[in-house]
Amino acid sequence: MLYTWLQGECTKEFDARARAVAALKTPEDVMKRQETLRAKFVEAIGGYPERTPLKREGRRHGEGDGFRVEK
């Protein structure tokens, strides 16, 4: 029973997506859809993390012939 319900819900969503994609007629329509989907995705993952400066701390550990190993 659950499987049938889930399959019905998925079918509705897939049909809605197919209609939305079929309605795309111009490159501008495609770009608008891409922006909308990108915004929904970013919202779904909770946004981007805050940007922080990179603080690289490498200490030379050893050197070989033409290479070095940093810890």
pLDDT at 66: 83
Contacts for 29 with CB less than 8 Å, ≥ 6 apart = 23
Distance CA 22, CA 16 (A): 10
Backbone angles phi, psi at 65, to 5 degrees: -80, 100
Which contiguous run of DSSP H or E holds residue 58? none
pLDDT at 58: 65
Is the entire prediction scored with pTM above 0.85? no
pLDDT at 62: 75
For residue 26, the 8-state DSSP code is: S
Low-confidence ranges of the chain (pLDDT < 50): none
**8 close to 1: Cβ distance less than 8 angstroms:** no
